[in-house]
Structure 1
Amino acid sequence: MALDGETLEQLLATVDRFVEERLRPLEQRVAEEDAIPPEIVEEMRRLGLFGLSIPEAYGGLGLTLVEEVQVAFRLGRTSPAFRSLIGTNNGIGSQGLVIDGTEEQRRHYLPRLASGALIGSFCLTEASSGSDAGSLRMTARAEGENFLLNGTKRYITNAPEADLFTVFARTDPATRDARGVTAFLVEADTPGLSLGAHDKKMGQQGAHTCDVIFEDVRVPGSAIIGGPERLNQGFKTAMKVLDRGRLHIAAVCVGVAERLIEDSLRYALEREQFGQPIAEFQLIQAMLADSRTEAYAARCMVEETARRKDREVPVSTEAACCKLYATEMVGRVADRAVQIHGGAGYIADYGIERFYRDVRLFRIYEGTSQIQQLVIARNMIREARGR
């Protein structure tokens, strides 16, 4: 159920203030220390940011997708690391439970995910499987009513902070694709689960990733999302929540792009060359205009697709279009921002080069641009053949 207009405006105004007054002043510190201050995490908890998309019945805000993308636009106006911390709790880490979890699983985990008492993480990628997620090799061998999990997951966001992992493992060794894969809920303190060293990344310092290693990790059949009857159904659960995740990432990209455009315009008005602000030069104006046009197009795409999704209209193709266009768009905007700033854009003091590195990840995780292209084209072909 959508919030009433006044309540939504209050929420968005609160997020605006939080971003402007608390998060943006800390961007450089987070990048240098590779850590989000604990007091900021606690403020996120109090604001309900860990439970944006979790139903009110389980302690969340229960936002519609239209409302969630409005929040994401605002969270995108600061370093992506801040949003990354709450991302899994609002995405695949909770929506799989909301859609396919048993009532017992929902009541046990969702209130704590919504409050931020638990940090969620999503374990799919492996050393030899990323875009080809169906080829994963991690196994879950049945042993009575339990399963023994063995394997290593790679580049797992929030793993160093996580309390609960959604883990995909092969439960049918006869399969070599997405069939025969099951989704498990595994708590971080389960014996046999360990973490690798923090990855040293190109950008998004403050958002941590590392390997998650499973060595004879024993979990009961009740740890399967949806219970034992959903054995070998893990990818079906994942597919049900992809549209929301793709739209959320696209909305964040819009927010980052609008922030970079704002910074670029301000610099162009202040920086003088040949006796006038560089904003007066038509080639600078062209870069500003192209950036504004593309960001506006992405915003419209996201808002319209969110409206359709809330009306329960199938949006698999449109969500992939949003993810593809918005992530590629923000990369172009970041590149123009560096160019407009000139030498200052290349120097760390201004923060532009940090965003240039940060946004590069959006085109890779949660489905690369090339995977989005395949999804779009295959859906088009399937629809054409079905007419």
Structure 2
Amino acid sequence: MPAEQSTVPQHVPAHLVYPFDYRSDAAIKENLWDYMSSMNARPDIFFSPDLGGHWVIARAAIAEEVFSNHELFSVRSVSVPKLESPVRLIPNNYDPPEHGPYRRLFAQNLFSPRALAALEGVTRNHARELFDAMPLGQCEFVADFAERLPIDVFLAGMGVDPSHRDEFLPWVQNVFSGTTKEQFASGMTEASTFLAEWLQEQLKAPEKNTGGMFQAMITSEIEGRALTWDEMHRITVMLFLGGLDTVTSEMSHAMYFLASSPAHRDRLVERPQDIPKALEEILRRFSIANIGRVVAKDTEFHGVVLKAGDPVLIPTPMVGLDETAFEDAMTVDFDRGRARGVRHLAFGAGPHLCPGAYLARTQLRVMLEELLPRMPGLRVQPGAKIEWRTGADFMVHALPLEWNAGPSS
């Protein structure tokens, strides 16, 4: 039991108090997945006195309820601890019914098949270019590929000059893995300022911007009117944040697993048609996002007394390993859920189900289709020490890989 008793409110019973500092616990950095699996021994809902104090949802079924019940669990705050953002993101920081029209805008316009039509080809071309730029037979996968591809796709979709790629990386890292409120605020402010200036410049001659998502955004209407500049800015910041670090993190886990499991890797090389189904199991087994909500009103939920304003954390890495929802949850089984598919919460659920899920899946699928056949004998470099980066998303900190390279490969 940690010493931070002052962060335990009076309405929290002592038997529900357990430490859970997902942002800096050394045990998570050293052995992430065993640590998350051990959470099966904890109560369905428990309270951590870390990070200012917050509830933790440890079961998949309850997590889905929290995601779906906006009347009890608000998105006014989606981080733990609560972090003040200079931008109210659209649609992330809106509860229904205000959220609905913006959600439809994303689903029907920005992420419509028409807006995304060109991005699979763009993703495939960038994946090949990044592979060709790697040293022969080896790479540090996170820096050489996973951090770069999602940014390249975002820049293409929004029509941003690709020369800005390296500027974006420190902003993303501060927002998602910063250890202080100051780092988070710095990343948000710098990204918001850049994107505001860029948007103003683009709107002077929008016809010159060929980005499919940008064109979908500026031609969209909400409740019969055009979007304001402020709305477009907040949407742009949301697109920037939502599609970069999360995809990078998932890529790092997928490739680490496949580099460590020749049988799973060989199956996907020999049967690439299995990749979409296998990807859902990888997303379940290696969910990476720690998502916050705030209790909207005093209530009793699954026998636990919650007070308005209580922070709530839904750690998808934990609920993806919930043994009450997934038998033998630590095992990756590409045939799990053969009939109906793998049900998981990697992209959330309910009204805030990630609208960019299709684009994220596309990038992950293309990565596997393009890289695995080009990396025979893929493995982690001998002697490499693998550690995990903690924060809003869990990521493999660095991933040195090698494979058999030469005329025969």
Q: TM-score, normalised by structure 1?
A: 0.30
Q: Which has the higher helix share?
A: 1
* Bigger relative CO (Cα 8 Å, ≥ 6 apart): 2
TM-score between the two structures when normalised by the length of structure 2: 0.29
